[in-house]
Structure 1
Amino acid sequence: MDDTLREDQKLTVRAVLAREGRGFAEEIGLGRTNNPASLFGLLVTAVLVAPRGESSGPARAAHEVTNRWHTPADLAAASAQDVAKELGAAVEGVDRGDGDDSASDTAATLVALASAVSETWGGDLRGLREKAGHDPARERELLTALPGVDDGVVDVYFREVQPLWDEVAPFAGTRALRAAAALGLGESAEDLARYGNRPEKIGRLAGALARIDVEGSHDEVRRTAG
Structure 2
Amino acid sequence: MCMGRTRRGYVQKMSRRERETMRRLLDAGGTTYAEEAGIRLRDKPSPLYRLLVLTMLSSTRITTDIAVAASRELSKAGWRTPQRLLDSTWQQRVDALGRGHYRRYDESTATKLEEQAHWLLENHRGDLRNLRPASRDDADALIDALADSPRIGPVGARIFCREVQDVWPELSPFLDDPLLEQARDLALPDDPDELAELVPDGRCAPLAAALTRVRHGLPGL
The TM-score with structure 2 as length reference comes to 0.83
* Structure 2 counterpart of 1:202, from 189, 204, 220: 204
Task: Tell me by how many angstroms 1:81 deviates.
Answer: 2.3
- The 8 Å contact of residues 176 and 207 in structure 1, kept in 2 or not, is answered as no
Name which one, 1 or 2, has greater alpha-carbon Rg: 2
Please name the residue that 1:177 is paired with. 180
Q: Distance in 1 between matches of 2:74 and 2:134?
A: 30
Q: 1:61 aligns with which of 63, 70, 75?
A: 70
1:11 and 1:52, CA in 2 relative to 1: closer, same or farther beyond 3 A? Answer: farther
3-state SS of the aligned residue for 1:163?
A: coil
Determine if the alignment matches structure 1 residue 27 to structure 2 residue 36. Answer: yes
Q: Spell out, residue by residue over 1:200-224, the C-alpha distance to the aligned partner (whole angstroms, 9 max, x if none).
A: x21101101101101264xx30xxx
TM-superposed CA distance for 1:4, in Å, is: 7.7
Deviations 1:41-75 (A, max 9, x none): 11111111244477222112112113320101111
Task: Please point out which of 192, 195, 201 is paired with 2:195.
Answer: 192
In the aligned structure 2, how far is the partner of 1:176 from the partner of 1:54?
19
1:47-196 aligned within 5 A: 47-52=56-61, 55-67=64-76, 68-88=78-98, 90-91=100-101, 94-95=102-103, 102-129=105-132, 135-196=138-199
Alignment CA distance shift 1:88-1:175 (3 Å): farther
Q: 1:216 to 1:51 in 2, by over 3 A?
A: farther
Task: Give identity over the alignment, percent.
Answer: 27
**TM-score, structure 1 normalization:** 0.81
Deviations along 1:64-118, whole A, 9 cap, x unmatched?
A: 1133201011113322322121112535xx33xxxx6x21112211221111101
Pairwise CA distance, 1:125: 1.0
Paired with 2:181 and 2:90, the residues of 1 have a C-alpha distance of 36
Counterparts of 2:184 and 2:115, CA distance in 1: 37
Q: Which runs of 5+ in 2 are unaligned?
A: 1-10
- Alpha-carbon RMSD across the aligned residues, in angstroms, is 2.4
Moved >6 Å (runs of 4+):
none
User: Whole-Å Cα distance in 1 between the matches of residues 204 and 53 of structure 2?
Assistant: 21
> Aligned partner of 1:173: which letter?
D
